[in-house]
Amino acid sequence: MKKVLVAGTALMLAGAAAVQAQAEVSVTGDARVTYIGKQDYLRDKASSNGYDDFFESRVGLNIDGKAPANGVGAKARVYFDGYGFEDDAPWNGQERTELSVDYAYLTAPLGDWNIKAGRINSDYSKFFSWNIRPTRLTATYKQGDLSITPFVGVRAEATTEKDKWNDNDYTEYGLVLKSKLQNAWNLVGYVRYDDDKREWDALTGSTMVNGIDAKGKALSFAVPNVGSKAHKDRSGVIGDVFLNNEGANCDFGFHAELAYKAADVQGTEDDGLGGYVMLSKAMSSQFTPAVLAGMTKDGFVADNDFGFVMVGGDTSTQVLKVGDLAPEGLWFGAFVANYKTSERMTLTGNFLYADFDNSKAGTMDSAIEVSGVADYVLNDSSSLTYKIGYLTPSVNGGGVAEDAYFAHYLRLNVKF
């Protein structure tokens, strides 16, 4: 499948015009170093592990190239380590000499369309899909307050010889629509069909075999499994719609979102649903409180970036994502207070209550998070961020550790 995408993209880019040697190239970047401390994050049924801390850091470079004559260009970001783009790069005493790619893609104007192809940093919403790097070909058409982006991508190539014979891949086809309504509110919709044509999975692991050696002594040894087994279809539809009034100059802030994932895509028995509503109000130039209420149902899990400090939030302090440990469902509500103490300092406080629809012994019943964030701007290119959080779980039944989770981190961010 990838060879078809590459060939098709090459033809379109060739039609746009060749990249000239006088292309403009810019290099920017950022760096960070973080101290992270965690209490009771590792646990078994009866006990937890105590305090654990470490440092992590990374440096990233953004490379942007563009041909002024025709607008054809490329964008890439690399890290000077072998960790994933969402992962910490911890100090563990081991030398890391490899590079890792965050994103890398081509861009080209083609009439009224803007084409992208490659490993794309595709952001939709923090609740549904954010900070992901799919391999896709996208085409965006924008006219006034409406934009349309159809796309096709490869989720996985065939991995067994049986599927390679027929090019049975896991492919996605989707569409994103964005519209600014007459009242300046923003309405965005996303729909995608995952087409899983794979029929076989390669066997993994090993099988223990008993035998007798040349001296008649009994022995056992592991034999790697070979061959294939029937593949469980992961085809299905996922979709999302959200509405907000950012930029509409309203007296209050409004965000609402509803998401859907088919059962086969999730790998669950039932189709998943999730959504939330958030209202905020600027009480003064310094103080802005917000209230948020939401739910997940039947296995839906929100994106890693959605949430707070301990629940969601995509940081080292995260205990679980919104929807984790809630196969039947979850209801949650939160109060968030943002206070700007000065031109340089901003404080955020979070209070979250989550109620899990679990009934079996040993499963989560409820959880409360109390957390805070302090952001301080040092200068135009650097800042400090301190996060601290406390999460207390309640578990159904007995015999399970209910120690509270505690974590904090201090991060220095630098842009150049």
What is d(CA 311, CA 308) in angstroms, rounded to the nearest whole number?
Answer: 6
28 within some domain? yes
The range of the structural domain enclosing residue 337 comes to 270-416
291 and 248 within one domain? no
Boundary (domain end) residue, out of 233, 267, 301: 267
277 and 198 within one domain? no
Largest CA distance in the chain: 87
In three-state secondary structure terms, 8 is helix
116 within some domain? no
Distances (CA, A) of 6 to 9, 136, 167: 5, 10, 15
Residue located via tokens 């943002």:
338
49 within some domain? no
Q: What is the pTM of this model?
A: 0.89
52 within some domain? no
45 within some domain? no
In contact, 178 and 147? CB cutoff 8 Å: yes
Residue located via tokens 């965000």:
255
416 and 274 within one domain? yes
Q: Mind listing the pLDDT tens digit for each residue in 301-344?
A: 999 999 999 999 988 999 999 999 999 999 999 999 999 999 99
Q: Mind listing the pLDDT tens digit for each residue in 346-394?
A: 999 999 999 999 989 889 999 999 999 999 999 999 999 999 999 999 9
245 and 315 within one domain? no
Rounded to 5 degrees, what angle do the CA atoms 397, 307, 413 make?
A: 130
DSSP, residue by residue, 380-402: TTEEEEEEEEEEEEEESSSSS--
296 within some domain? yes
The CA R_g of the chain, rounded to the nearest whole Å, is 25
Determine the pLDDT at residue 16: 45
244 and 162 within one domain? yes
92 and 31 within one domain? yes
Determine the pLDDT at residue 108: 96
The larger pLDDT score, comparing residue 361 to residue 32, is at 32
Q: Which of 39, 78, 44, 47 is nearest to 61 (CA)?
A: 78
Determine the pLDDT at residue 15: 47
Chain mean pLDDT for the chain? 92
281 and 352 within one domain? yes
157 and 94 within one domain? no
259 and 170 within one domain? yes
Boundary (domain end) residue, out of 225, 249, 267: 267
Q: Mind listing the pLDDT tens digit for each residue in 128-186?
A: 999 999 999 999 999 999 999 999 999 999 988 898 999 999 999 999 999 999 889 99
- CATH number of the domain where residue 333 is located: 2.40.160.40
Distances (CA, A) of 93 to 54, 89, 349, 403: 11, 12, 35, 31
What is d(CA 152, CA 314) in angstroms, rounded to the nearest whole number?
Answer: 27
- Residue 359: DSSP 8-state: -
What is d(CA 126, CA 305) in angstroms, rounded to the nearest whole number?
Answer: 5
| Cα dihedral 141, 143, 144, 146 sign | negative
Here the tokens at position 18 are: 């060749």
46 within some domain? no
405 and 274 within one domain? yes
DSSP, residue by residue, 13-60: HHHH-PPPTT-EEEEEEEEEEEEEEEES-SB-SS-B--EEEEEEEEEE
Determine the pLDDT at residue 1: 52
Query: Residue 402 — pLDDT band, cuts 50, 70, 90?
Result: confident
242 and 147 within one domain? yes
Q: How many domains are there within the chain?
A: 3
382 and 332 within one domain? yes
Boundary (domain end) residue, out of 234, 267, 300: 267
Determine the pLDDT at residue 21: 52
Determine the pLDDT at residue 10: 47
112 within some domain? no
Task: State yes or no: pLDDT of 11 exceeds 50.
Answer: no
